[in-house]
Chains A and B, each alone.
Chain A
Amino acid sequence: MNLQKVNRREFLKATGMTAGGLVMGVTVPMSLHAEEGETGFHPKVFIQIAENGDTTLYCGRAEMGQGISTALPAAVADELEADWSRVTVLQGDGDKKYGSQATGGSRSINEFFIPMRTAGAAMREMLIKAASQSWGIPESDCYAELHFVHNKKNKKKLSYGELSSVAAKLPVPTKPALKSKDQFRYIGKPLTRHDQDEVVVGKRTYGIDTKIPGLKYAAITHVPVYGGKLKSVDKTGALKMKGVVDVVEVERIKSPFSSLGGVAVVADNTWTAQQALKKLKIEWDLGEHKGYDSKTYLQDLIKNVESPAEKIFSRGDVDKGLEEAATRHSASYTGGHLSHSPMEPMASLAWVQDDSCEIWASTQNPQQIQQVIAIFLGRKEEDIVVHVTAAGGAFGRKGKCDYVHEAAAISKAVGVPVQLTWSREEDMRTGYYHSINAQHLEAGLDKDGNISAWLQRAAFPSIGSTFNPSLDRANERDFTRPIAHPYGIANYKLESGHAPAHTRIGWYRAVYDIFYGFATNVFTDELAQKAGIDTLTFLRNIYDNNKDPVLAKSASRCRGVLDLAAKKGSWGKKMPKNHGLGIAVHYSYNSYLAMLVHVETKGDDIKVHRVDCAVDCGLVLNPDIATAQMEGAVVMGLSLSLREDVTFRDGAVVNSNYHDYPVLRHNEMPEVHVHFVDNDESPTGLGEPGVPTFAPAFINAIYAASGKRYRSIPIKPMSV
């Protein structure tokens, strides 16, 4: 049973709110992160219909600009037949009572959709039953519509508010009837978001905006090299400044999500703290990674993938397949480190007192904050209260809360509440970067131009290395996507090259799919040209030839988005000189994406005219939000294809701010058209899957326009 009524006491304990009316708790059965040994009923979401009819959803998932806090309430409201204007969403504070709150992997929608609908439907049935009892008529003579139960016979109606307390006494139906697709009122329809009104008047409060009485402000500078530490700091100059409260040394603790180590200044305002930082005379012990140079390292990675490496997966006989091939082709591809660089830099407010610890933060993972700070303070996790605020962008960065550990360490040292704001420069230089990467691909084509063998070697420092620094190459888990790649080639082999990490590696929107999607699709385009076959036909053949029953479904859904993108973007139409179309398909996070990109090249000048995205994410919960996600993915994809490149020299990041880590701006925004496949598959997330298809489609389009084949992104790195 994943649905239960919640009584007054439990509700108060869980949410700090007073219960009244009907309150339901929902658990998420297929949760990927169910706590070890968790027994009993542990609701992750609460839904309340109060006696005045106000309907509130308490959910723990961090918002992050993905509109999840609209899509899921819409699922509840739809089945409940609630009036959308009466529904509000409250973000839960960080606590296990809301279940795991980590946002990422586009999992939120997958996990919550059916449980949310079921909860709404069950509540609707209870309200109908309550009304039927009060009228003394059968339930079949009643129906629910927009916050009322109506009597079919006499046009009488009772409001949800009036019925809520009576309904609360009824048993929860075990199998409430869900609506069919054509009955949906909110699901799949554009809906106003709950959180926009505040944004346009500057009233939405992000982590960086939190204020509480007695607040002091902190700025920090970090050890420039991963694994280094503070040798000495002369605080005199800083301490002499008017408005400076103290200088605090923050040490690393044993947790991958703790501070990298640094020195912070606490002052009356952020600016004074930033100025005082410059007065510190600091000596660092740079440690073992002080020689890290990302340009040289990338050359090493290329070498490591251009010779045999460690086998991760194989099917059939690749060597034989390659030998017997009518045509062979090979190529290597690379990509650099990326920085998330959300517009809101890392910021958190912490107040550590002897008997309490309260945190306010933009975070994708409040429970991790509890864990890390519990280790740091030597207290129990449940004694750390985390208030989750709106996040000014995250893209994976705010799932790693080193900045919160720092705020707590500083507050503890000075004994007052402290708002720590990283400068943009610190954000740029103290990240958990997307892996620098190299891949080598070799394939054989048979005489009809079908791929008969495919060898793919990848070398990149893995996210696992952030947890276990002794890992010196990616492992099977890091190869999940190529292992299940829908091409399903008969002779297939994956190898992992040596790639020890010299910085912290972290999840970045779409993670490894960025480079897997890139190399695979660009190489496929090259193979099509080798075979002398149009790329669209070549790709269709691949999917159609797939004989692996396990991959059949994903192959056919890939084919579906491929066809849709090709049609909408008019693949095959006659292009003017220096114009070209490129196409790419990628399956990740249970969603299927194809992009068709139209570029025009003039020498080194490249202009993207139009992008057609074809999306199969099952049932589209909110087309407007889904479209916005794709528009955002195109921007990020183009940005990382053109210029984004974090460069390390002497162990430290050289880039410092948006001038030398240029992200895409308005003037380069292409026209984007988003098309959804209409099917009855269950809904899947879209936060990440849009990113990987852009770069390869773009690179293929440049080739079509100019004959120039790029194999490394970004194609226009800035020299820093």
Chain B
Amino acid sequence: MSKKININGKDVSVDVDENMPLLWFLRDELELTGTKYGCGIAACGACAVHLDGAAIRACVTPVSSVIGKKITTIEGLSEDGSHPLQKAWLANNVPQCGYCQAGQIMGAADFLSKNPKPKEEDIDNVMSAHICRCGTYKRIKKAILEAAADMQEA
């Protein structure tokens, strides 16, 4: 009986050392490379994915702890890139190199689902868990506010 994780709606069998962090399982075993490695110590947010809808750091989450659970990665956040955050990201030309952005979007998606009407201050606090070395913070904040407004209307 093989152990499974549901990743982006598909059941995936786990046949690796279960101590392996989810990050490397996604990237090297499943070749889902949208989730990025930045620090490996939960300090940068590049590896953010959702566990049953809540953002976690894949780099410090052993595979063993998510068996039988539902994981969503950036590749599964929406079918076609139509999540309000993804749209707002494009509308504001947020990415520079783009490397940190999957993590930023996953972090923001979790945040917005809990705080549909975010205050700027809350965005600053929560998003400070994510590093962008290119310095796109200003646009990230703007995009989150726009996406929030967009979701309110819908």
Contact = CB atoms under 8 A, between A and B. Distances in A.
B130 interface: yes
B152 interface: no
Contact of A343 (B28, B77, B100, B138): B100
A659 interface: yes
Contact of A657 (B20, B33, B41, B100): B41
A394 B101 CA distance: 16
B17 A201 contact: no
A211 B33 contact: yes
A199 B135 contact: no
Size category, B interface: 35 or more
A390 B137 CA distance: 21
Given A202-B35, A269-B24, A666 B93 contact: no
Given A64-B97, A197-B81, A270-B28, A202 B38 contact: no
A217 interface: yes
Interface string A323-355: 000000000000000000111110000000000
A188 B112 CA distance: 35
Contacts of A659: 41, 43
Interface stretch (A115-123, A167-175, A627-635): A627-635
Contacts of B71: none
A205 B98 CA distance: 10
A208 B97 CA distance: 13
B101 A199 contact: yes
A574 interface: no
B2 interface: no
Contacts of A254: none
Contact of B99 (A211, A344, A634): A344
Interface string A195-208: 11101111111101
B21 A200 contact: no
A672 B86 contact: no
Interface in B110-131: 123-125, 127-128, 130-131
A631 B135 CA distance: 7
A368 interface: no
B133 to A, nearest CB: 5
Contact of A393 (B27, B74, B86, B134): B134
Interface in A255-302: 268-272
A205 B33 contact: yes
A477 interface: no
A672 B140 CA distance: 13
B133 A393 contact: yes
B31 interface: yes
Contact of B17 (A202, A242, A632): A242
Nearest to A217: B28
B14 to A, nearest CB: 13
B43 A657 contact: yes
A201 B86 contact: yes
Interface in B5-34: 16-17, 20-21, 24, 27-29, 31-34
B44 to A, nearest CB: 6
A227 interface: no
A345 B97 contact: no
Contacts of A271: 20-21, 24, 28
A65 B39 contact: no
A624 interface: yes
Question: Chain A binding site: helix, strand, loop or mixed by DSSP?
Answer: loop
A563 interface: no
Interface residues of A, number: 63
B89 A392 contact: no
Contact of A202 (B21, B34, B134): B34
A440 B107 CA distance: 46
Given A200-B81, A628-B136, A631-B139, A195 B39 contact: no
Contacts, number: 184
A424 B23 CA distance: 15
Interface in A220-279: 242-243, 268-272
B16 A65 contact: no
Contact of B98 (A204, A217, A394, A667): A204
Interface in A180-195: 190, 192-193, 195
Contacts of B97: 64-65, 342-344, 390-394
A374 interface: no
Interface string A641-676: 000000000000000011100011111010110000
B102 interface: yes
A636 interface: yes
A83 interface: no
B141 interface: yes
Contacts of A67: 96
Nearest to A392: B99
A472 interface: no
A217 to B, nearest CB: 6
Contacts of B93: 190, 192-193, 196, 624-625, 628
B56 interface: no
A466 interface: no
A202 B74 contact: yes
A393 B75 CA distance: 21
B135 A666 contact: no
Contacts of A202: 32-35, 73-75, 102
A159 to B, nearest CB: 29
A390 B75 CA distance: 18
A209 interface: yes
B36 interface: yes
A624 B131 CA distance: 22
A205 to B, nearest CB: 7
A209 B33 contact: yes
Given A271-B28, A344-B99, A197 B138 contact: no
Nearest to B28: A269
Contacts of A106: none
A625 B93 CA distance: 9
Contact of A424 (B16, B28, B39, B137): B39
Given A197-B90, A203-B34, A423-B40, A272 B135 contact: no
Given A211-B31, A667-B125, A632 B96 contact: yes
Given A217-B28, A272-B17, A624-B93, A343 B40 contact: no
A359 to B, nearest CB: 18
A666 B141 contact: yes
Interface in B80-94: 81, 86, 89-90, 93
Contacts of A193: 93
Contacts of A205: 33
A421 interface: yes
Interface string A39-70: 00000000000000000000000001111000
B124 to A, nearest CB: 5
Interface string A96-123: 0000000000000000000000000000
A345 B37 contact: yes
B145 interface: no
A509 to B, nearest CB: 10
Contacts of A395: 133
8 smallest CB-CB distances across A and B, nearest first, come from A202-B34, A635-B135, A392-B99, A65-B97, A202-B74, A199-B98, A632-B135, A65-B96
Interface of A: 64-67, 190, 192-193, 195-197, 199-206, 208-209, 211, 217, 242-243, 268-272, 341-345, 390-395, 421, 423-424, 624-625, 628, 631-636, 657-659, 663-667, 669, 671-672
5 contacts: A199-B101, A199-B102, A201-B75, A633-B135, A664-B135
Given A196-B90, A201-B74, 9 more contacts: A66-B96, A203-B34, A209-B27, A271-B21, A390-B97, A424-B39, A628-B136, A632-B134, A657-B43
Interface of B: 16-17, 20-21, 24, 27-29, 31-41, 43-44, 46, 73-75, 77-78, 81, 86, 89-90, 93, 95-102, 105, 123-125, 127-128, 130-141
